[in-house]
Amino acid sequence: MKKVLIFLLAGSRITTIPITTYAASARNYISIVGSSTVYPFATVVAEQFGKTTPYKTPKIESTGSGGGFKLFCAGIGVEHPDITNASRRIKKSEFGKCNKNGVTGILEVKIGYDGIVLGNSKKTAPLKLTRKEIFLALAKDVPDPGGAEKLVPNPYKTWKDVNASLPATKIEVLGPPPTSGTRDAFVELAMEGGGKKFGWIKAMKKKNKEAYKRICHTIREDGAYIEAGENDNLIVQKLDANPGAVGIFGFSFLDQNTDKIQGSFIDGVQPTFEAIADGQYPVSRPLFFYVKKAHAKVIPGIQEYLKEFTSEKSWGPDGYLSERGLIPMPDTEREKFKSDVASMNTLTLVK
Amino acid sequence: MNNSAIKSQRTIDIVNQGLHRRYRAEHRFRMYGIIAIAVSLVFLALLFIALGVKGYSAFWQTYIKLDIHFDREVLQQASLATADYQSLVKNSLRTLFPKVKSRRDKRQLYGLASRGAAFQLRKIVLNNPQIIGRKQSIWLTADDDVDMLLKGHIRRDVPEDSRRLTDKQLAWIDQLAAGEKLEKRFNKTFFTVGDSREPELAGVLGALMGSFFTLIVTLALSFPIGVASAIYMEEFAPKNRWTDLIEININNLAAVPSIVFGLLGLAVFLNFFGLPRSAPIVGGLVLTLMTLPTIIIASRSALKSVPPSIREAALGVGASKMQMVAHHVLPLALPGMLTGTIIGMARALGETAPLLMIGMVAFIVDIPANLTDPSTALPVQIYLWADSPERGFAERTSAAILVLLAFLITMNATAVFLRKHFERRW
């Protein structure tokens, strides 16, 4: 009995060796994981790359920014992905995990900007909001309406409660779940931007950063904010069916559905391509991808893929990515990242 | 005697009086059964009609007729494979609409033809280099916005900034249509290429091949193992506590949510054995684990349903236990086993959750050629398309669902035919 068990164990280990060497020698395509926001742009570049070069088309999975970093930082080797897309910068903890697992030599490339839009159906008038009102409408604990410098659970039920000039419809916001990079960016830009407008909350940033982040980033859980998953198509359909609801999604979805939905004004600025590009629209965030330099030497095609992504005809103002809703970076930034890619400058986090 | 005669009369009377109610109750019961079947059929019909109405337009694709001048200057600057075919398309469009001058308007004009039109020209030139220097009218794929307009999915009556096509583009499209340069043809691309970001260039072939390879692996592994386990447990295994435990566990495994098998596949096949990610062989292994309990349970009931007289008769004329099982019991139980297999395969064909964990939910353009090439499966392709913002993918999602249903019906028809072929009555 014991002999059989030992034999089976040895046998299983022996069989893995040829399989792993087979797998190791066999990967001739680029493996990319990461953000679902960058996915529509990366897939276009990948397809273009596959059609115009003799290399195989890269395989791109949409795992979310957080999930992508988890897979990316698991180690060096052909069984791990080469590139991860992200709709936010890598966190210090994730960078530390990467280094711990031997993933040193990471190249960071910013590809452009994406606007986050609060959209509603074209059947009603567009909302004119400020970031302060967004914070008051969506935070779990808000400053006491009476004026005292303390927090109370969010009492506002309709938009009119927040600001008398807004319509008297129930606050119903469909947004991404906590795993989404879009949500991270939204809480950081819109909600924190609004929370900061209260002097005493802003002062707390220096005194007690943990509490400050908790106040600004926690979204209410009493049913006014509904987690509608990553499927933006579904959010657009729900907004069409329910004109009183508001949805949070990326600018590219607004661009493709301008006949059904419109973006709300935030701080007086409407979400248009131009307004996001020159920084007037306040809720826009940069999109990145990260490359393992060690893999760039082994997997065929990575250098050429990077060249395709950083070429003017893809990420420039007249490029095919901007046609899809990606807001291009200013010329100087594009030049900087293009030269970073050419010289493969390693990322060093100075935070 | 009088009393008993009177009594029996009354019993008959009682029975006769209740007869009408009984017949009405039986009739009502039959009606309930018919209504239940009718409701199911109505829902089935609604499903097919909804899919058909939304998806049938995906089988037609708009093509634009352009007079292409295969300019020798353009096509000799670089090697033929990397020449600028897009400029040939642009030149042709500019010749059709010579009044278009501004850069913005020209970009809108070029947007009428698909991005894949340049690659179609490249294929023509590479196949037939003698065409260089000549002029020819070629039908090229039109852009998905043009396609959507001609199919009525883009409304003309909304203001210009709420539309995907500008007024100028609408005017050009009308002009092309009047000049008979726009035509809807059968969408062959849908069945001959893999995934793409452009709806007019996207097809299901990659997903179909991926599903095919995955199901081949699943069938090849789960059918022999499942049938052999069932035969052993039914015919040869002793009836004690251990075999009872195994039977309970197998029955429970049939009810485990499929994503658990995906997690198991990730941990064991990808991390421990180091198999390539997103390969059909890993997908097949994971789905085998999922279908085995179904096949084992169905095979066991099929074996149980063979009458003991068959077994005893075989043993009685001198067959050994192995011969009795293989030559007498197994052929009679085969129809039931095939039914169980087909139920398992149908479930495996439609599963997406376990494939998510092993990396088969990805954008993969190349068609897989063997069991280790990265691939997706048909339900995964449907899910990815349902998530895309382009309007053209909405109809293609429904069309892909129809293809999946056709695949399923073909598989089931094969199984039913095999079952009828092997069926024996006693």
Question: What CATH number corresponds to the domain at position B359?
Answer: 1.10.3720.10
B56, B73, B99 - which closes a domain: B56
Count the residues in chain B: 426
Are B82 and B140 in contact, with CB atoms under 8 Å apart?
A: no
Is residue B172 within 8 A of residue B185, CB to CB? The reply is no
Write the residue in B365, B366, B389 that is nearest to A252 by C-beta: B389
Name the DSSP class of A170. B
pTM: 0.82
* Shortest alpha-carbon distance between residue A228 and chain B (Å): 13
Q: In the beta sheet, which residues pair with residue A153?
A: A141
Cβ contact B270–A43 (<8 Å)? no
Single-letter amino acid code for the residue at B210? G
Q: Assess whether B182 and B319 both reside in one domain.
A: no
pLDDT of residue A25: 55
Q: How far apart are the first and last CA of chain B?
A: 53
CA distances from A260 to A91, A253, B256, B384 (A): 36, 11, 41, 22
The reply to whether B32 falls in a domain is yes
How would you class A51 by CB atoms within 10 Å of its CB: exposed for 0-12, middle for 13-18, buried for 19 or more?
middle
Q: Tell me if B364 and A231 make a contact (CB, 8 A cut-off).
A: no
With 0-12 / 13-18 / 19 or more C-beta atoms within 10 angstroms meaning exposed / middle / buried, residue B11 is exposed
Residue carrying the six token digits 């040829």: A18
Q: Which range, of B7-21, B131-145, B303-317, averages the lowest pLDDT? A: B7-21
B95-104, B156-165, B346-355, range with the lowest pLDDT: B156-165
Quick count: other Cβ atoms within 10 Å of Cβ A340?
Answer: 18
What's the CA gap between A177 and A66, in Å, rounded? 12
Residues B68 and B109 in one domain: yes
* A210: contact with B, CB 8 A cutoff: no
> Both B347 and B215 in a single domain?
yes
Interchain CB distance below 8 Å, B389 and A40 = yes
Q: What is the DSSP string of A66-120?
A: HHHHHHHTT-SSTTS-SEEEESSPPPHHHHHHHHHTT---EEEEEEEEEEEEEEE
Residue B199 included in any domain: no
One domain, residues B49 and B70: no
Average of per-residue pLDDT values in chain B: 90
Strands A128-129 and A265-266: parallel
Chain A neighbours among B 284-343 (CB < 8 Å)? none
A115-284 belongs to CATH 3.40.190.10: yes
Q: Which of A12, A59, A235 to probe by mutation at the B interface, max B CB count within 10 Å?
A: A59
d(CA A169, CA A159) in angstroms, rounded, equals: 6
Other C-beta atoms lying within 10 Å of the C-beta of residue A92: 10
CA distance B407 to B409: 6
Mean pLDDT of B275-296: 94
Lateral strand order in the sheet of B60-69: B135-141, B60-69, B182-186
Distances (CA, A) of A317 to A219, A327, B103: 35, 8, 13
pLDDT at position A23, please?
46
What region does A229 belong to: left with phi over 0, alpha with psi -120 to 50, or beta? Answer: left
Residue A36 contacts residue A62 (beta carbons within 8 Å): yes
Give me the pLDDT at residue A9, please: 61
Shortest Cα distance from A299 to chain B (angstroms)?
14
Q: Do B372 and A232 count as a contact with CB atoms less than 8 A apart?
A: no
DSSP A78: T
Return d(Cα A62, Cα B195) in angstroms, integer: 15
One domain, residues B44 and B186: no
- B374 vs A: CB within 8 A: yes
Task: Judge: A231–B365 Cβ closer than 8 Å, yes or no.
Answer: no
Query: Of residues B415 and A174, which shows the higher confidence score?
Result: A174
Q: How far is CA A164 from the centre of its chain?
A: 33
**pLDDT (0 to 100) of residue B87:** 86
**Do B383 and B352 form a contact (C-beta atoms < 8 A)?**
yes
pLDDT band, residue B4 (cuts 50/70/90): low
Percent of chain B as helix, strand, coil, to the nearest 5: 70, 5, 25
Please tell me which of the candidates B82, B365, B391 has its beta carbon nearest to residue A57. Answer: B365
Confidence at B156, pLDDT banded by 50, 70, 90: confident
Instruction: Give the tokens for residue A137.
Output: 């409408």
Range of the domain at B22: 2-56
- In the chain, the amino acid numbered A216 is C
pLDDT at B252 over 90: yes
For residue B198, tell me if it sits in a domain.
no
B164 in contact with chain A, both atoms CB, cutoff 8 A: yes
Whether residue B379 sits in one domain with residue B237: yes
Along the 351 residues of chain A, how does pLDDT read in single tens digits? 666 666 666 555 554 444 444 444 568 899 999 988 899 899 999 999 998 888 999 999 988 888 899 999 999 988 899 999 998 888 889 999 999 999 988 999 999 998 899 999 988 999 999 999 999 999 998 888 887 888 889 899 999 988 889 989 999 999 888 877 788 888 988 888 888 888 888 888 888 888 888 888 899 998 899 988 767 777 888 888 888 899 998 888 788 778 888 999 999 999 988 888 888 898 888 899 999 999 988 899 999 999 999 998 899 888 888 888 888 888 898 999 998 888 877 666 533
| Helices within B134-204 (DSSP H only) | 144-150, 167-178, 189-192
Strand partners, B256: none
Q: Which residue has the higher pLDDT, B424 or A63?
A: A63
- Contact list in B for residue A79 (CB cut-off 8 A) is 270, 274, 276-277
Residues B211 and B323 reside in one and the same domain:
yes
Q: What are the φ/ψ torsions at residue A160 (nearest 5 degrees)?
A: -65, -30
Residue A314 near residue A326, CB atoms below 8 Å:
no
Shared domain for B417 and B273, answered yes or no, is: yes
**Adjacent-strand bridge partners of B232:** none
CATH 3.40.190.10 domain range(s) in chain A: 27-113+286-343, 115-284
Chain-centre distance for alpha carbon B63: 27
Residue among B363, B385, B391, B395 with most chain A CBs within 10 A, to mutate: B363
Q: Which of B86, B165, B277 to mutate to test the interface with A (most CBs of A within 10 A)?
A: B277
A44 touching chain B per CB within 8 A: yes
Task: Report the domain count for chain B.
Answer: 3
Supply φ then ψ for residue A158, to 5 degrees: -120, 165
Residue A80's alpha-carbon distances to A84, A295, B372, in angstroms, are 11, 10, 16
Counting residues of chain B whose pLDDT is more than 90, the rounded percentage is 56
Task: Clarify whether residues B164 and B211 are in a common domain.
Answer: no
ipTM of the complex: 0.79
- In terms of domains, do B95 and B183 share one? yes
Asked if B333 and B260 sit in the same domain, the reply is yes
| C-alpha span between A5 and A8 (Å, rounded) | 5
Write the Ramachandran bin of B129: left for phi over 0, alpha for psi from -120 to 50, otherwise beta: alpha
DSSP letter at A347 equals: P
d(CA A153, CA A144): 9
B222 shares its domain with B339 = yes
Nearest CA in chain B to A62: B362
Give the class (CATH, top level) of A27-113+286-343: alpha beta
Q: CA nearest A101: which of A69, A137, A65, A73?
A: A73
Nearest-angstrom CA–CA distance, B168 and B174: 10
Phi-psi region of B278 (alpha: psi -120 to 50; beta: other; left: phi over 0): left
Q: Which of A76, A26, A65, A71 is nearest to A42 (CA)?
A: A65
* CA separation for the pair A123, A240 (Å, rounded): 8
User: Two tokens at B147?
Assistant: 């396609």
Contact: B274, A23; criterion CB under 8 Å? yes
